[in-house]
Chain A
Amino acid sequence: MLRIERPVCSGYATEAQTIMIGDIPLSVLVASVLAASVPLIIIALGEMITEKSGVINLSLDGAVLFSAMVAFVVAKESDSLIVGFLAGGCAGMVTGLIVGYFSIYLHLSQVAVGFALSLLCRDLAYFLGNPYSRVQGPTLISSKLPFHDMLPDFLQKITTQPLTVPFALGLIVLLVWFFKSSRAGLQVRSVGENPAAAFARGLNPNRIQMLTVLAGSFLVGIGGAAYSLSLKPGWGRPQGAEGIGWIALALVIFGSWQPSRVALGALLFAFLQVSGIGLQSLFPTIPSQVFQTAPFPLMIFTLIIMHYSTSKTRKHGEKDSGLHKWLGILFMSRAPKSLGKSYRQE
């Protein structure tokens, strides 16, 4: 599949070797995978934060569309991208507020509330966004690094990206640090594990959950905005972000509620999507639909593998060595223990 091509006709570029995957040069592939994964990374990390505190926000898919619509409309009206992104974040936060309030304070089923809200948000987005359908609006364009000219051609292509890329990458680092080293991060995790014990130690589980849900859903909103303002600019029906929320939910499981692994999963998914285009030209006999839909069954397949390796690893504990241990590290999934259960103070 990989082949190295030496462009024949270019006289002065004999040194430059371009690695091609199908018809796409590697640098372009890397750049587009990065760009395509950004909203997904932000959304999946937003959901991961929420779930770390023990709350599942199932309204994700609708929330992404709704915030994408709000972000685009506000950016267009205010003619400001920053305001657009913030508006998207706030729109996401509203959905989080609803799910959070209903599940944390009224103890309603998180699944039912989230699912209904997801459908509501989607239809609301199409309805309210209709006047702005297929309208030109502001778009976040790619910007070059300050030392762009000093970089080799390969890196130039990769690093010329919209600002959402460094934001997403920074977010991964920030969250790894937050959950590993900060006190607040530990408190969020403790609430997701055992709210009753957290309460017994003087924490306020409900407040911590609510704050976490708000922060997580704000990120989801930013992710939605990254679609309508950057990756798939504009608004329409379909917008192009449909179904991403469900993928993000699966990615959180795939990533075992760890920021770095969740982000890795998002990159992998984006790679599968983008490389589908390249692979199509390599295997012209296979119908194009196969490459378009392949990421979804692959996702399910991975989750099955994870299920088995998790139960195996659980059984054998940490004494295991060799293959099992590595499978465990790679595919082990450990959900917050009280995920999805609402906590009622005695």
Chain B
Amino acid sequence: MDVEFQHISKRFGSVQALSDVSLTAKQGTIHGLIGENGAGKSTLMKILTGYQAKSGGDILINGEKIALKTPDDAAQIGIGMLYQEPMDFPHLTVLENFSLGCPVLSRERFAASLKHLAFAFGFQLAPKRRVELLTVGERQQIELLRLIHCETSVLILDEPTTGISPAQKALLFPALKKLATEGMTILLVSHKLEEVASLCDEVTVLRHGNVTHHTYAPFRFPELLEAMFGAVPEQKEKPVARATGNAVLTMNNIQAGGERQGLELKNFSAKSGEIIGLAGLDGAGQATFLRLAAGLTIPEQGDMQLFSTKLPTSKKASRIAGKLQTVFLPADRLEEALFTDISLSEHFSLRDPKSSFWQKTETNRQRAAEAIKTFSIKGQYDDTADNLSGGNQQRLLLALLDPQSKLILLENPTRGLDIRSGQWVWEYLTQTLSPEACIIFSSPELDEILHYSDRILVFYDGDIVLNSLTAETDHGSVAAAMTGMRS
């Protein structure tokens, strides 16, 4: 079946996730859909499965306009999706997962069909095993077999290789190629260019909800990278690199859980005065790295030293890190850093290092009022934190931050901020705070990282794949490392 998207648009509240997206996937081909995080790939696919409603545009199957209100409508036509996070039932068995949502069959028939299909694709699945005990790759295999069993003719794969082993990947790819030659239409959503290159016949690139590129195999990577991440920006005036001093943070043979792949790194050290940018696609390990350094995530193996003090592997770690003047500003400010229903002055009260039974209301009001002035926060001292805009929340956090901090960990420091607020934040970090402080930050904006950091670490699937001085690398090679291409 040919699938045609015509001028699809989708709004979430005030956010335009997709605008005027048109593309055609032809029967018997594998059509790649690439783009960075938040480009709108998954949203477009969820619209095709009827999981989410579109705001505008049409979907045509074999030239006929169709309405997709629920996943059931899509399944009737033969559209099935393999979701990025396994959409299954962990407590149920393999066979039960396999037989849910398919045409009515007896249990024996399901069992026979599962066995037959698993054999044909070389998957090893024990029907009675509970799915929660399986790996992500195996759970995906069940889903894939189920979709084939349900006579799916349009198969959508959303990042099918996240969290699966290379061996499982080696089984999956030939299976997909075989399905395409048998007449299936396959849509592959990915941000890993190598995979796309080895599988796809055609590629469409999305960026900020728009189609920026469409091309056929063989692909030219620089062209695709540019369409994904935007044109290489003109060189802006770069801040002068700062003087570096002693080691602030050292990590040795660390292994930690978290995000999709956890995090594994041999050795790493950051010096005082350094500004280090962490690049990588969402969930590649940057968030875990920052939380490790803040003592919020406890490593399973390896050791860490903060200012030559060994960080304990217990819940005490974060308190000790705090005492050593390490601060962490998370991306989700309201969830992890501020208190929704507590006022600005009360936030200062909470941070007060001296312990006393009473709150010093007046003093803290004054402090808050001062901070409002110096940090130009748009709000009053008795406003609650959730009444502030994203930019003002970040200003408040910076105001709460101890100016003597020696290690500052920032997760996406300019998230939700307009350009001017973002510049203000960086000015404050680099100019007002002590130049001896070490700043480590992650950001989804490659330009921000290239512009502000002295050193860049690139994360990919839980590993650091690039560790280089900013001066010695460029836009292209960082983007390539982010998408998993070996340089």
B75 / chain A contacts, CB cutoff of 8 Å: 201-202
Partner of A200, one of B71, B90, B96, B104: B71
Cβ contacts A to B, 8 pairs, < 8 Å: A181-B107, A186-B99, A194-B88, A196-B87, A198-B89, A200-B71, A202-B101, A334-B91
Q: Is B133 located at the chain interface by the 8 A CB criterion?
A: yes
* A interface residues, tally (CB under 8 Å): 23
Q: Is B66 located at the chain interface by the 8 A CB criterion?
A: no
- Rounded to whole Å, the gap between the CB of A198 and the closest CB of chain B is 7
Q: Is A15 located at the chain interface by the 8 A CB criterion?
A: no
- Rounded to whole Å, the gap between the CB of A312 and the closest CB of chain B is 16
The answer to whether A346 and B100 touch across the interface, beta carbons within 8 angstroms, is: no
B83 / chain A contacts, CB cutoff of 8 Å: 200
For window 112-142 of A, CB contacts with B under 8 Å fall at none
How far is it, in angstroms, between the C-alpha of A181 and the C-alpha of B87 when the chains are bound?
A: 22
- Rounded to whole Å, the gap between the CB of A208 and the closest CB of chain B is 12
The answer to whether A203 and B104 touch across the interface, beta carbons within 8 angstroms, is: no
For window 8-66 of B, CB contacts with A under 8 Å fall at 46, 49, 51-52
The answer to whether B89 and A200 touch across the interface, beta carbons within 8 angstroms, is: no
- Rounded to whole Å, the gap between the CB of A42 and the closest CB of chain B is 25
Apart from A201-B100, A203-B101, A318-B133, 14 more pairs, CB < 8 Å: A189-B92, A189-B96, A190-B89, A190-B96, A194-B89, A199-B51, A200-B49, A200-B51, A201-B71, A201-B87, A201-B101, A204-B70, A317-B133, A337-B91
Q: Which residue of B lies closest to A193 (CB)?
A: B89
Q: Is B81 located at the chain interface by the 8 A CB criterion?
A: yes
For window 188-234 of B, CB contacts with A under 8 Å fall at none
Most buried by B among A187, A193, A346: A193
B463 / chain A contacts, CB cutoff of 8 Å: none
Partner of B70, one of A193, A197, A202, A336: A202
- Rounded to whole Å, the gap between the CB of B264 and the closest CB of chain A is 23
The answer to whether B71 and A189 touch across the interface, beta carbons within 8 angstroms, is: no
A186 / chain B contacts, CB cutoff of 8 Å: 92, 96, 99-100
Q: Is B2 located at the chain interface by the 8 A CB criterion?
A: no
Q: Is A3 located at the chain interface by the 8 A CB criterion?
A: no
How far is it, in angstroms, between the C-alpha of A198 and the C-alpha of B89 when the chains are bound?
A: 9
Q: Is B282 located at the chain interface by the 8 A CB criterion?
A: no
Q: Is A183 located at the chain interface by the 8 A CB criterion?
A: yes
How far is it, in angstroms, between the C-alpha of A189 and the C-alpha of B51 when the chains are bound?
A: 21
The answer to whether A194 and B87 touch across the interface, beta carbons within 8 angstroms, is: yes
How far is it, in angstroms, between the C-alpha of A334 and the C-alpha of B90 when the chains are bound?
A: 11
B4 / chain A contacts, CB cutoff of 8 Å: none
Most buried by B among A181, A186, A317: A186
How far is it, in angstroms, between the C-alpha of A190 and the C-alpha of B104 when the chains are bound?
A: 16
B133 / chain A contacts, CB cutoff of 8 Å: 317-318
Per-residue CB contact flags for chain A residues 172-213 toward chain B (1 = under 8 Å, else 0) read: 000000000101001101100110111111111000000000
B71 / chain A contacts, CB cutoff of 8 Å: 199-202
For window 81-136 of B, CB contacts with A under 8 Å fall at 81, 83, 87-92, 96, 99-101, 104, 107, 133
Per-residue CB contact flags for chain A residues 205-236 toward chain B (1 = under 8 Å, else 0) read: 00000000000000000000000000000000
How far is it, in angstroms, between the C-alpha of A278 and the C-alpha of B338 when the chains are bound?
A: 60
Shortest 7 CB-CB contacts between residues of A and residues of B: A201-B101, A202-B72, A197-B87, A193-B89, A202-B75, A200-B87, A202-B71
A183 / chain B contacts, CB cutoff of 8 Å: 104
A336 / chain B contacts, CB cutoff of 8 Å: 91
Q: Which residue of A lies closest to B129 (CB)?
A: A318
- Rounded to whole Å, the gap between the CB of A207 and the closest CB of chain B is 12
A190 / chain B contacts, CB cutoff of 8 Å: 89, 92, 96, 100
How far is it, in angstroms, between the C-alpha of A270 and the C-alpha of B99 when the chains are bound?
A: 39
The answer to whether A346 and B51 touch across the interface, beta carbons within 8 angstroms, is: yes
The answer to whether A189 and B107 touch across the interface, beta carbons within 8 angstroms, is: no
The answer to whether B101 and A193 touch across the interface, beta carbons within 8 angstroms, is: no
How far is it, in angstroms, between the C-alpha of A204 and the C-alpha of B73 when the chains are bound?
A: 12
Per-residue CB contact flags for chain A residues 308-340 toward chain B (1 = under 8 Å, else 0) read: 000000000110000000000000001011000
Most buried by B among A198, A200, A204, A318: A200
A346 / chain B contacts, CB cutoff of 8 Å: 46, 51-52
A198 / chain B contacts, CB cutoff of 8 Å: 89, 100-101
For window 67-82 of B, CB contacts with A under 8 Å fall at 70-72, 75, 81
B91 / chain A contacts, CB cutoff of 8 Å: 189, 193, 334, 336-337
Q: Which residue of A lies closest to B76 (CB)?
A: A202
- Rounded to whole Å, the gap between the CB of A332 and the closest CB of chain B is 12
Partner of A193, one of B51, B81, B92, B107: B92
Partner of A337, one of B72, B87, B90, B99: B90
B70 / chain A contacts, CB cutoff of 8 Å: 199, 202, 204
A204 / chain B contacts, CB cutoff of 8 Å: 70, 72
How far is it, in angstroms, between the C-alpha of A151 and the C-alpha of B91 when the chains are bound?
A: 45
How far is it, in angstroms, between the C-alpha of A336 and the C-alpha of B51 when the chains are bound?
A: 23
Q: Which residue of A lies closest to B131 (CB)?
A: A193
Per-residue CB contact flags for chain B residues 126-159 toward chain A (1 = under 8 Å, else 0) read: 0000000100000000000000000000000000
How far is it, in angstroms, between the C-alpha of A190 and the C-alpha of B92 when the chains are bound?
A: 8
